Structure 1
Amino acid sequence: MTTLTHDPARTAPAGPARSGRGPRLGGPVWLVWRQHRAAFWTLIAVTVVGVLVIAFLRGRMMDFLGAQDAASQRSGGLPPEFEAYADRLFRVGSYLGYIPVLAGVFLGAPLIAGDLESGTAKLVTSQSVSRLRWLTVKLAVPAVMLTLSTAALTTAFTWWWNPVKGRSDGLIWTSFFSVTGVVPVAYALLTFAVGVAAGLILRRTLVSMVVTLGVVVALGFVWDQVWRSLGHIMSVSTDKGVGPGAVRPELPAQAEQQGEGTYFLASSGDRLDWTTCLDQMDNTRAHTACLKSEHVVGWSIDYLPVSQMHTMQWLGAGAMSALTAGIVAFVVLRGRKRLL
């Protein structure tokens, strides 16, 4: 028999009311906040510090760019001295890339597994709070906190990156695709849901964290391999020959070349691999004759344009959100039937 003889939904608001501090929450919401307040306050502190650091670094970068002469500004390029500022941009971006890992391993995996392991879940659900309500609040409060935190950090980072976006090859949009826009939020919620599901199934905090880490790493590998397929690959070609002096096609600004490299373009419109006639390279005449026999008239290059970035991000975020919704549905249905 439980020793908790009162209704936590009725008495929970008294905690913050007596102290006179903190949000005036009630029932399971207050209970979840109280139970995980250390993690939530850490998340808030990291977010505030991160945004302030990004704002400071952006300010220094803008001061540096503002000090450049007008000719350099008109050229659109960046001076060699900008490399140190670009390194900071990449470093912070790489740190933001760890948000999904942290969300899944340290926030999602222990969320329910810890309650099942300690017996808190049995204690709470034996009172007037239903399993569905407890699960809903248990998932919603951390998800909202994680969404706000990730959105704040990635918005600040995007604000930092925008003034120099595309002004050098190293700052091309594909290098920051997964840490700007809506992708980081959807990605963090997905890994959070994966961690919660692992905790519900395995029911042991440490084991759930280890398994979640493995799954999140696998998800990251898959994402890195497939996200470019969300865009529509375009091509640019020339038909002025491929011999000495022939100019290869120039990619649009901020475009990323795709595929293995440059293709040969035949008069029929077909594209041939760049290794065509490679074995005759040592003999100029034989090589020219080989290319003529293949009816090669120019070059062709595949690329992804920057104009597709936001569409690709929304498509990726939509796919992640659908997967997240499926995992959450599984957690809720399994939790209602087999929580204890």
Structure 2
Amino acid sequence: MTTLAHDHVRPTRTPRLSGPVWLVWRQHRAAYWTLVGLTLVGVLAMVVLRGQMTDYLNTSAPASGALPPDFEKYSGRLTRVGGCLTYLPVLAGVFLGAPLFAGDLESGTAKLVTSQSVGRLRWLTTKLTLTAALITLSTAALSLTFAWWWSPIKGRDDTLEWTSGVFFDGTGPVPVAYALLTFTLGAAIGLLLRRTLVSMAVTLGVVVALGLVWDRFRLNLGHVLTLSSDQGIGPDAAQPELPAQAIQQGQGTSFLTDSGARLDWTTCLNGTDSDRARTACLESKHVIGYTMDYLPVTQMHTMQWLGTGIMLAGTAAAVLFVVEWGRRRLL
């Protein structure tokens, strides 16, 4: 007795979403596909722009390795696109986080879903996890591509400071952590206010305030170093020279006395005094040279990871709040 070959063939099953994951994806598929589409467009655009920049550098860069004098067009593109990427946390918080639970609570979908076989905790964690995973993948793809675009001229263009929000917040782990923080804050606000438009407006205000605080204290994550000279003052005296890509901190170069004290650069500055009179005044105060504070570029990654840790701690706190509040007071 022969056995037909097709009797042994078992149909293969392709992986498909099911259960709460399928429900969440179907419910937010418009936002998810928009996020995926924008990510692909952004990555492709940066790949093309980087190719144009490197082609120009290969054909026009001087033999010394310096950038061409008319390179501003390409560096301008870099900073403009990087500036657009700084709005990712706003988009994540306002358009993905705030409506995540507020929309379901406002429409009554939450009551319908949790009255079925899906428990509150599973519904909460599924919506948070799936959306956070897409935000992480999209933000990481954009951040890595932007850093790859910046890499050929990093350190070669003094106008592209690594401490600026464009590069500090647009590369490394910071964009992912920042977007996750604003997303979870928006989700928590939506869970509390239960109204979509109100939650989006409040989230926008919170994210803007958070951005202002971050911009104000971001550089405090670094360890400020000091350069000093003790070769006297005056036009012929050598001033400290900053290392490459170092960013000067404080109010600029100040004066150093023989006791190690600092005097502000406005010391002995008077509109009616000559340079000779000012020099004599400074010498009477035992000034022996100059001093300045700076942040070296070698601290960039350490500062980024420290900021990432702070943001992830805030994200964890927001997630914990969402889970606990949702389990007890969801409906």
What TM-score, normalized to structure 2?
0.93
2:183 to 184, 192, 215: 192
What's the counterpart of residue 62 of structure 1? 54
The Cα of 1:190 is off from its aligned counterpart by 0.4
What's the counterpart of residue 100 of structure 1? 89
**Residue 309 in structure 1 maps to residue 300 in structure 2:** yes
**Residue 272 in structure 1 maps to residue 259 in structure 2:** no
Structure 2's unaligned 5+ residue stretches are 1-12
Whether the aligned pair in 1 keeps the contact of 2:93 and 2:207 (CA below 8 Å) is: yes
Alignment CA distance shift 1:91-1:280 (3 Å) = closer
The Cα of 1:140 is off from its aligned counterpart by 0.4
Q: Hey, what's the Cα distance between the residues in 2 that align with 1:284 and 1:327?
A: 59
What's the counterpart of residue 4 of structure 2? none
Deviates more, 1:261-270 or 1:272-281: 272-281
CA deviation digits over 1:205-249, x for unaligned, max 9?
000000000000000000000010000000111111111212221
What's the counterpart of residue 239 of structure 1? 230
**Residue 135 in structure 1 maps to residue 127 in structure 2:** no
Alignment of 1:207-226 (within 5 A): 207-226=198-217
The Cα of 1:172 is off from its aligned counterpart by 2.1
Alignment CA distance shift 1:69-1:333 (3 Å) = closer
What TM-score, normalized to structure 1?
0.91
The Cα of 1:187 is off from its aligned counterpart by 0.2
What's the counterpart of residue 49 of structure 1? 41
Alignment CA distance shift 1:128-1:317 (3 Å) = same
CA deviation digits over 1:85-104, x for unaligned, max 9?
00000000000000000000
For residue 112 of structure 1, give the secondary structure of its aligned residue in structure 2. Answer: helix
What's the counterpart of residue 204 of structure 1? 195
Alignment of 1:1-340 (within 5 A): 24-68=16-60, 71-73=63-65, 77-175=66-164, 176-279=167-270, 282-340=273-331
| Identity between Structure 1 and Structure 2 (%) | 68
The Cα of 1:70 is off from its aligned counterpart by 5.2
The Cα of 1:283 is off from its aligned counterpart by 3.0
Whether the aligned pair in 1 keeps the contact of 2:62 and 2:68 (CA below 8 Å) is: no
CA deviation digits over 1:285-331, x for unaligned, max 9?
43222111211111111110000000000000000000110011001
Q: Hey, what's the Cα distance between the residues in 1 that align with 2:279 and 2:64?
A: 42
The Cα of 1:111 is off from its aligned counterpart by 0.4
Q: Hey, what's the Cα distance between the residues in 2 that align with 1:158 and 1:49?
A: 16
CA deviation digits over 1:112-151, x for unaligned, max 9?
0000001110001001111011100010000000000000
Deviates more, 1:276-285 or 1:191-200: 276-285
For residue 282 of structure 1, give the secondary structure of its aligned residue in structure 2. Answer: coil
Q: Hey, what's the Cα distance between the residues in 2 that align with 1:55 and 1:283?
A: 56
RMSD: 1.6
**Number of aligned positions between the proteins:** 318
Structure 1 runs, 4 residues or longer, greater than 6 Å off: none
More helix per residue: 1
